[in-house]
Structure 1
């Protein structure tokens, strides 16, 4: 690796709060037409410009302070001279008041009913691979509930010797396991099929999270009920939400790594993430990770449920629709620098991002700073786990000239993440689901970062 210059570049965060509540309400009422799309772009650019101006002002102030000698290090603020907050002042710890801008956010216009919508995870502000429980993305079909675990039951039935009903206490008596996996909605990056539609990585890729899940392997429950292994081909998972969400899962997955989970990142599941029980189906699109799990049925053929014939299907160029395309293919995205952020002057920057594959481990990530003309290997940060996010880093010296940043992931099967030309040649541009294309961020000469598409 070449020796890096001493000067380190400074990065300004994205203005993720540029969507007003009035604008969101108007979109929900009247729809997301081209006029409002243009307003959205203008609002984002205005917010970015304001943040950039403030950052530039701060940069000049810091440079002046450095020239005169930094006084802040010699100051004695109040927190160095008095008694702080008492222990257990907060029964459950909260983020700092200075980090309030990092939140899950809903994109206006996706759905008219917020109970059947999405909140996006702020990937641009996270470190490592674990998503904090309070920032995990949400996707609901009929809203979320805080269900009394004492009243909740899980039934296992169908092609088994004995159908059984389990309480949460019953399930927690089984041998448990904990594993780290990513979960990605099949519609993640779905707004980008036709053109660059949204400004920041929170909205392009934010239907993605990664957590440590704790629960009982589904295989143990099926064996406990005496599954008919000769006849069984699929299982049906059903949730206890208002949509009674149901999904078909093939028996190979069910007997392999599927978990009936009650724990997430060392604590019980959050209500918006399926408390008290959810299914964990590693590598498979998030809709199959059924929340509020109440029924497992073993069968010999798919159920062709509503979410398998009307939704979560892939429209192909010839007009046909693919069904049961559940696996989330190899994918990556640069989270920093990314859309809405600003590079404050030339210097060395750490390009950082995430890579993942529903078919195994990440083997390699390449980074390009010239729109895909040349590629260099990024550093993969450990741990590198199966069907899990992998953090990558790449040192880059920005010379102040326009650039286009991209990342390209390769998984353990040898599959290479495609560009738009390659993906559209097979899938067209009218789909919604399973967009795993290479993401491009354009850096302007003034340091502003924008979402663009490069074929």
Structure 2
């Protein structure tokens, strides 16, 4: 928030107009930097609008967004031949902060969204345990709960940036398979402790109650660490598209492993080698090689504003804003560039900065009206730095569609139009 005016000019922090982040850290802004307001002397008198002259609408059982925000919706393509297979994307370029509203959280379905009666749903824990257990949803809700703010990102998010040529897509179409919520539920470790884990157990097979019976193998160390069986998302019951009545949360791990509509946890000595961890969700490399069972989503960031579809309205002061996250820990630093990576400046990070949760970053930019290429580069607390596209391609090649985390670029032309480019 801008709290005071500093009459000293704000010094540039990098080339092509990136200003010091002290604008945000100290609450200062140089006079005339924005050029966005009207002075009291020239402004029209404050009008009494029609909505001030009659009473407004009454109460409703569940609040809805303003009709003026009707364009803030998830993006998705028409369903393919198989009903319910596909994904919808979070409209990231139209949101703020770090939390994704429950109704706008991206969704990925392998066979549609099941209509589950919570009174009939059961969660079974069996396999290499001393006491196989069957839980109703009501019984699970009696256990002590915890809440975690965590992102979930589809392993295939941003895969279009593997294409040989940059595609004319916006931030939501490219990066929108990610969302962040406050998730509340029972630690998986509590339930496994009650079942009694056999020494030979090394993996947990999680299975969903959708028509695809989607299942993934999870290291038991993760299940005993920070995994949750969740009933609540942002304070309300998990939405059907996100796993109602019960879903698994594995903070930082690829989205497909956070099994929705959870019905079974089977402890085993080895992985299940299910279709979703063999035919899919393996990382194709160069020279016909592949990585399998790579679970955490690596450090990543992107700029949400400016971005394609949000044109600039003439030279002047703008805020560069975006999100950064890492499945290996918390974000330590985000840098921004307006000259395609030739120079970088640190952005201001908006708290809270939490492990395995997105951070909103902000940078001040004085656009001179000329061509610019905006980029962001994140570093997490393990020291991992977001790679350039060239570095990513040198290590892994560009054959795969999973775990793409290279630096993304937006080009701004003299008219203020923003486009996806490779830089």
The TM-score with structure 2 as length reference comes to 0.91
CA distance in 1, matches of 2:82, 2:308: 27
CA distance in 2 between counterparts of 1:449 and 1:114 reads 35
Retained in 2: the 8 A contact 1:334–1:351? yes
- Residue by residue over 1:296-355, the C-alpha shift from the partner in whole angstroms, topping out at 9 and shown as x without a partner, is 001111110000110111111111222111210000000000112110011110100000
Please give the alpha-carbon distance, in whole angstroms, between the structure 1 residues aligned to 2:401 and 2:388: 16
**What SS does the corresponding residue of 1:115 show, helix, strand or coil?**
coil
- Confirm or deny: 8 A CA contact 2:85 2:109 kept in the other structure: yes
2:407 match: secondary structure: coil
Question: What residue in structure 1 maps to residue 215 of structure 2?
Answer: 246
- Across the aligned residues of Structure 1 and Structure 2, the Cα RMSD in angstroms comes to 1.7
Match of 1:263 in 2: 232
In structure 2, the residue matched to 1:14 is none
Look up the match of 2:192: 222
Q: 1:112 Cα shift?
A: 4.2
> Whole-Å Cα distance in 2 between the matches of residues 198 and 263 of structure 1?
37
**Could you tell me which of 175, 196, 205 is aligned with 2:166?**
196
Once the two structures are TM-superposed, the CA of residue 198 in structure 1 deviates from its matched residue by 4.2
Q: Distance in 2 between matches of 1:263 and 1:168?
A: 12
CA 125–150 in structure 1, closer or farther in 2 if over 3 Å, else same: same
C-alpha separation in 1, matches of 2:140 and 2:276: 28
Contact 1:5 1:348 in 2 (8 A): no
Q: How does 1:338-377 map to 2 (within 5 A)?
A: 338-377=307-346
Q: Shift of residue 4 of structure 1?
A: 3.2
CA distance in 1, matches of 2:418, 2:345: 21
Tell me if structure 1 keeps the 8 A contact 2:168–2:419. no
1:7: how far off?
Answer: 4.2
Q: Report if aligned partners of 1:198, 1:451 keep a CA contact under 8 Å in 2.
A: yes
For the pair 1:6 / 2:6, whether they are aligned, the reply is no
Q: Once the 2 structures are TM-superposed, how far is the Cα of residue 69 of structure 1 from its aligned partner?
A: 4.3
Identify the structure with the greater helix proportion. Answer: 1
Q: Deviations over 1:198-231 (max 9, x none)?
A: 4100011000000000000000000111111x21
Tell me, yes or no, if structure 1 residue 304 matches structure 2 residue 273: yes
Aligned residue pairs: how many?
396
Alpha-carbon deviations, 1:381-425, whole Å to 9, x = none?
A: 000001000000000100001000000000000000001110000
CA offsets per residue over residues 346-393 of structure 1, 9 Å max, x none?
A: 111010000000000000000000000000000010000010000000
Distance 1:253 1:245, change over 3 A: same
Give the equivalent residue in structure 2 for 1:80. Answer: 52
Report the alpha carbon displacement of residue 67 of structure 1 after superposing the two structures with TM: 11
Please give the secondary structure, in 2, of the residue aligned with 1:436. coil
Say if 1:191 and 1:197, in contact at 8 Å, map to a contact too: yes
Q: Distance in 2 between matches of 1:183 and 1:224?
A: 27
User: Retained in 1: the 8 A contact 2:114–2:211?
Assistant: no
Structure-2 separation of matches of 1:112 and 1:311? 19
Aligned equivalents of 1:305 and 1:178: distance in 2? 30
Answer yes or no: is 1:233 the counterpart of 2:206. no
Distance, in Å, in 2 between the alignment partners of 1:308 and 1:9 is 53
Matched, 1:105 2:75: yes
How far apart, in 1, do the equivalents of 2:349 and 2:380 lie? Answer: 12
Which runs of at least 4 in structure 1 moved beyond 3 Å after TM superposition?
A: 1-5, 66-71, 110-114
Counterparts of 1:162 and 1:81, CA distance in 2: 67
* Contact persistence 1:361–1:412 (CA under 8 A): yes
* Contact preservation (8 Å) 1:118, 1:140: yes
Does the 8 A contact of 1:384 with 1:390 survive in 2?
yes
2:181 aligned partner: 211
Consecutive unaligned residues of structure 2, counting only runs of 5 or more, are 1-9, 12-28
Following the alignment from structure 1 to structure 2, what is the Cα–Cα distance between the partners of residues 281 and 184?
Answer: 11
What is the TM-score with the length of structure 1 in the denominator?
0.84
Deviation at 1:111, TM superposition (A): 4.4
Pairwise CA distance, 1:76: 1.6
Q: 1:427 to 1:111 in 2, by over 3 A?
A: farther
**Pair 1:417 & 2:386 matched:** yes
Deviation at 1:251, TM superposition (A): 1.0
What pairs up with 1:138-157 in 2 under 5 angstroms? Answer: 138-157=107-126
Q: Structure 1 CA distance, aligned partners of 2:394 and 2:117?
A: 49
State the partner residue of 2:66. Answer: 96
- Structure 1: how far apart are the matches of 2:247 and 2:153? 15
Report how far residue 291 of structure 1 moved.
0.5
Deviation at 1:74, TM superposition (A): 3.0
